[in-house]
A and B are shown apart, each in its own frame.
Chain A
Amino acid sequence: MPADTPLLSTVLHSEADTARLARRVAPMLRPGDVILLEGPIGAGKSLFARALIQSLLTTPEDVPSPTFTLVQTYATPDFEIWHADLYRLGSPDEVIELGLIDAFDTGVCLIEWPDRLGEMTPENAVTLRLSHGDQPDDRQLTVFATDPRWQALAKEVQPHV
C-alpha cells in the first residue's frame, strides 16, 4: 500500500511531459520493479506505459492498449516488460491465472487499474497516480512508495519534471 506522504507531486502540462517522464524513469528500472498506474480513463496511464516501453525496445514495435488482451509483454535486452490492464478482472485470483505473480519477481511490470490486485499488490511497488488538472492538458502526478529504492529514483527524476 502506498505511504501517505507522496515522494513526488507535480503537474505534467502535456502528453509530451508525461512521455518525457516515462522515458526518464525507463533506464532506471530493473527486474522485479512494479509500477502501479492509477487514474481514470484518459489520465495518461497507457501513454506513460507506451512511452516507457518504446524507449526500452531495441526494435520499434506497436504498443497497443492491453485493455482487451489484459497483458502485453515485450522483450528488452535486460528483462521482459509486462504491461497489464486489470480493469476487466473479476477477482484477484485471476491475477495468478495471468501469470503476473511470477512476473512481479522476474520482469518489469506496468499495471493499470492496480486496485484489482487486492492483497496481491507487491510491497515493493511504486504507485503513480495520475489525475486531471486545472487545464485540459494538465495531469496531476503523485508518486507513492514505501520501498526506499523509489525515494532515490524520485529524487533523480524530480529536478527534471
Chain B
Amino acid sequence: MAVMKHETLTVLGIESSCDDTAAAVVRLAPDGRAQILSSVVAGQTELHAAFGGVVPELAARAHAEKLDLCVETALQQAELDLRALDAIAVTAGPGLIGGVLSGVMCAKGLAAGSGLPLVGVNHLAGHALTPRLTDGLEFPHLMLLVSGGHCQFLRVDGPQDFTRLGGTIDDAPGEAFDKTARLLGLDQPGGPAVQREAASGDEKRFAFPRPLLDRPGCDMSFSGLKTALLRARDAVVTEKGGLTRQDRADLCAGFQAAVRDVLMEKTRRALAGFAGPIAAQPTLAVAGGVAANTAIRAGLETLCTDLGVRFLAPPLALCTDNAAMIAWAGIERFRMGARDDMTLSARPRWPLDERSPALLGSGKKGAKA
C-alpha cells in the first residue's frame, strides 16, 4: 500500500447522501495531524416540526443549488480556492438516490473544471474513520454507528477494511425515536424530544421488551418496541381517557431504557468478539445522532469502564452527518492511492463490508435527477 507520509494534503469533501447538504475542507499536515479548515452543513431541521418527520430534499435542482453554495462557503471559510486543493472527495453512497447523484455530479463538475483527482467515499466509512480525524485513533477499533437510518457494529481495520459484526434487522434506533415521538405527539426530530420527556420519567413503570437479547450475536431489532409502546399508550388511554404529562414521560423513559439496554448488551457482545486476541487497549468509538442521547451514551460509557475499554465519541457535529468526515475519508483513501474518474457512479446501496452475508440488496437503478 502506497502511503506517502511527508506530504501536506488538502481535500474538499462533499456530502449530500442524507437529509443534509454539506461541504468541508480538511488538511493533513506532514506531522500526521489533521485540521478541519472549514465544515459547512446546510440542514433542514427547522422545517421538520411541521411534517412530523425529517423532510428529505429530493429535487435535484435544489440539491445542486445548495451544494454550490456549501462548496463556495467551505472554500471561503478555509480561505482557499480550488487550486490549493489536492483532491475532491464525495460521498458516492449509500443514501437517498437524488442526493447521492447530485453530490457526485457536483464533484465531477469541480474535478473536471480544476483537473483535480476525484475520490469517491462511502458515507459509512466517513463515520467509521472519524475517530482518526478527531483523535488520531489507530487501527483496529470497534465502531457503533447508530443514527436515523443506520445501526451497525463495524470492526475497522483499515481505511478500506471493515467487518460488519451485526446490525438492525428492521428499524434503526433514530427512526424508533422519531416514531415514538410521533405516537406521543412530540416534536420532530424525535431524539431530543423523547430524551427531554424521559428526563422526568420513571423507566421502570412500563416493562418494554429488549428485542433479540435471547438470540446470540450482535443483530438488533427495534421495530417491535414501537408496537409495545403503542400498546402501553393505548392501555393508559383506555383506562384514564388520555395521557398525562407524567404518563408520557414514563413511556419515553421506558422506551429509551429499552433502546439503551439493547445497545449496551449488543455492544458488550460485539466487544467480546472484537477484542479477543487483538487489541491490548480496545476502543469503542460511536457515531451517529443517537450516540448523542445522554442515557444511551452514559450506558455505553459505563459498560466500557467496566470492561476496561476506551470509549470515544467525537464531538456531536462530527458524529452526525457532515462533510469533514468525507474529506478525511477521502484523504485516507487518497493516501492509499485511490483515484476515481468520471465513471464514478452513485451507489444508493453500498454496504461497507461486502463480505457479510446479510446485506442490503443490490441492483439499484439510477434515479431521475
Min CB gap B231→A, angstroms: 5
A69:B149 contact, CB within 8 angstroms:
yes
Min CB gap A91→B, angstroms: 9
A65:B171 contact, CB within 8 angstroms:
yes
Chain B residue nearest to A96 (CB atoms) is B368
Interface residues of A in 29-70 (CB under 8 A from B): 41-42, 46-47, 50, 57, 60-65, 67-70
A80:B365 contact, CB within 8 angstroms:
yes
B60:A50 contact, CB within 8 angstroms:
no
Asked if A73 lies at the interface with its beta carbon under 8 angstroms from chain B, I say yes
Contact pick for A42, options B175, B227, B359, CB 8 Å: B227
Asked if A99 lies at the interface with its beta carbon under 8 angstroms from chain B, I say yes
Asked if B132 lies at the interface with its beta carbon under 8 angstroms from chain A, I say no
Asked if A149 lies at the interface with its beta carbon under 8 angstroms from chain B, I say no
Interface residues of B in 189-231 (CB under 8 A from A): 223, 226-227, 230-231
Chain A residue nearest to B168 (CB atoms) is A64
**Cα A72 to Cα B96 with chains together (Å):** 10
Asked if B148 lies at the interface with its beta carbon under 8 angstroms from chain A, I say yes
**Cα A72 to Cα B94 with chains together (Å):** 11
Chain B residue nearest to A88 (CB atoms) is B53
B226:A69 contact, CB within 8 angstroms:
no
Interface residues of B in 311-369 (CB under 8 A from A): 348-349, 357-369
B361:A98 contact, CB within 8 angstroms:
no
Interface size on B, residues (CB 8 A): 49
Min CB gap B209→A, angstroms: 13
Contacts of A46 in B (CB 8 A): 170-171, 223
A69:B357 contact, CB within 8 angstroms:
no
Q: Known: A94-B58, A97-B58, A97-B98. Is A73-B170 also a contact (CB below 8 A)?
A: no
Min CB gap B228→A, angstroms: 9
B172:A98 contact, CB within 8 angstroms:
no
**Cα A94 to Cα B349 with chains together (Å):** 20
Asked if B183 lies at the interface with its beta carbon under 8 angstroms from chain A, I say yes
A61:B358 contact, CB within 8 angstroms:
yes
A61:B367 contact, CB within 8 angstroms:
no
Interface size on A, residues (CB 8 A): 35
A50:B96 contact, CB within 8 angstroms:
no
A62:B169 contact, CB within 8 angstroms:
yes
Min CB gap B367→A, angstroms: 5
Q: Known: A70-B96, A71-B97, A97-B368. Is A41-B357 also a contact (CB below 8 A)?
A: no
Asked if A150 lies at the interface with its beta carbon under 8 angstroms from chain B, I say no
Contact pick for B170, options A64, A87, A93, CB 8 Å: A64
**Cα A116 to Cα B250 with chains together (Å):** 33
Chain A residue nearest to B62 (CB atoms) is A97
Contacts of A75 in B (CB 8 A): 361-363
Chain B residue nearest to A93 (CB atoms) is B59
Asked if A27 lies at the interface with its beta carbon under 8 angstroms from chain B, I say no
Interface residues of B in 131-185 (CB under 8 A from A): 148-149, 167-172, 174-175, 178-179, 182-183
A97:B358 contact, CB within 8 angstroms:
no
Min CB gap B16→A, angstroms: 14
Residue with the greatest number of chain A CB neighbours at <10 A, chosen from B174, B178, B361:
B361
Chain B residue nearest to A75 (CB atoms) is B363
Asked if B84 lies at the interface with its beta carbon under 8 angstroms from chain A, I say no
Residues of A within 8 A of B (CB): 41-42, 46-47, 50, 57, 60-65, 67-75, 80, 87-90, 93-94, 96-99, 102, 132, 136
Q: Add 17 more A-B contacts to A64-B168, A73-B364, A102-B368 (CB < 8 A).
A: A61-B361, A64-B169, A64-B360, A65-B170, A65-B172, A67-B171, A70-B58, A70-B97, A72-B349, A73-B361, A80-B365, A88-B56, A90-B51, A97-B98, A98-B368, A99-B368, A136-B231
A-B pairs, top 7 by smallest CB distance, nearest first, are A68-B149, A75-B363, A97-B58, A74-B361, A94-B58, A42-B227, A42-B230
List 19 A-B pairs, Cβ < 8 Å. Answer: A41-B182, A60-B358, A62-B167, A64-B168, A64-B171, A65-B175, A68-B149, A69-B149, A73-B361, A74-B361, A80-B365, A88-B51, A90-B55, A94-B58, A97-B98, A97-B369, A99-B368, A132-B230, A132-B234
